[in-house]
Amino acid sequence: MNYLTVLLVALGAAALFLFFRPGKRNAPRTRTAPAGVKPAQTSLRRASAAISAPMAAKPSVAHPVIRAANPHIASMLRGFVPTRGADLPAQDAQDIGALLSRIPRPPSALHKLVSPQYLAQANASELSDMVIAEPQIAAKVLVAVNSSLYGLQSPLSSIGHAVTFLGTNTVRSICLQYLLDESFRSDDPEVKRIFTGLWNASAFASELCFRLAQHLKLPEPGTLVTHVVLSFLGQVASHSLLPRPVAKAMLAKGMLERSRIEQNELGLCAAEIGSLLMQQWELPAVIIERVRAIDSVLLTPCGPTVEDHRTAKAFCYLCARLGEKLARGEVKDLGAYQLDQEQGPEFYYLQTYLQLPDLAGLNDLLRLREVVAPINAMVYAMQQRG
> What Cα–Cα distance (Å) separates residue 103 from each residue in 201, 239, 303?
21, 12, 37
* pLDDT for the residue numbered 255: 96
For residues 141 and 175, the answer to whether their CB atoms sit within 8 Å is yes
- 115 and 204 share one domain: no
d(CA 10, CA 12): 5
For residues 209 and 224, the answer to whether their CB atoms sit within 8 Å is yes
In a domain, 57, yes or no: no
Q: Residue 268: which CATH number? A: 1.10.3210
- 138 and 158 share one domain: yes
For residues 286 and 331, the answer to whether their CB atoms sit within 8 Å is no
Tell me the Ramachandran region of residue 23: left when phi exceeds 0, alpha when psi lies from -120 to 50, beta otherwise: left
In a domain, 37, yes or no: no
For residues 322 and 205, the answer to whether their CB atoms sit within 8 Å is yes
- 257 and 294 share one domain: yes
In a domain, 13, yes or no: no
* pLDDT for the residue numbered 186: 87
Mean pLDDT, contiguous 10-residue spans, the chain (386 residues): 41 41 42 38 34 39 76 95 92 92 91 83 82 86 83 81 84 90 90 92 94 93 93 96 91 93 95 96 94 96 78 97 95 93 94 92 92 92 77
d(CA 134, CA 131): 5
SS (H, E, C) the chain: CCHHHHHHHHHHHHHHHHHHCCCCCCCCCCCCCCCCCCHHHHHHHHHHHHHHHHHHHCCCCCCCCCCCCCHHHHHHHHCCCCCCHHHCCHHHHHHHHHHHHCCCCCCCHHHHHHCHHHHHHCCHHHHHHHHHCCHHHHHHHHHHHCCHHHCCCCCCCCHHHHHHHHCHHHHHHHHHHHHHHCCCCCCCHHHHHHHHHHHHHHHHHHHHHHHHHHHHCCCCHHHHHHHHHHCCHHHHHHHHHCCHHHHHHHCCCCHHHHHHHHHHHHCCCHHHHHHHHHHHCCCCHHHHHHHHHHHHHHCCCCCCCCCCCHHHHHHHHHHHHHHHHHHCCCCCCHHHCCHHHCCCHHHCCHHHHCCCHHHCCHHHHCCCHHHHHHHHHHHHHHHHHC
* pLDDT for the residue numbered 63: 64
In a domain, 17, yes or no: no
Supply the pTM of this predicted model.
0.80
In a domain, 336, yes or no: yes
For residues 182 and 137, the answer to whether their CB atoms sit within 8 Å is yes
Residue that is last in its domain, among 154, 182, 210: 182
In a domain, 151, yes or no: yes
Residue that is last in its domain, among 162, 182, 202: 182
d(CA 47, CA 53): 10
- 85 and 119 share one domain: no
- 144 and 253 share one domain: no
* pLDDT for the residue numbered 167: 84
d(CA 318, CA 339): 10
Question: What is the number of structural domains in the chain?
Answer: 2
Residue that is last in its domain, among 147, 182, 217: 182
- 276 and 364 share one domain: yes
All residues at 6 or more sequence positions from 189 whose CB lies less than 8 Å from its CB, including other chains: none
- 134 and 115 share one domain: yes
- 196 and 219 share one domain: yes
- 190 and 157 share one domain: no
> What Cα–Cα distance (Å) separates residue 49 from each residue in 33, 52, 116, 354?
17, 5, 48, 37
Structural domain span for residue 153: 106-182
In a domain, 299, yes or no: yes
- 261 and 366 share one domain: yes
- 96 and 111 share one domain: no
In a domain, 319, yes or no: yes
- 320 and 249 share one domain: yes
* pLDDT for the residue numbered 386: 61
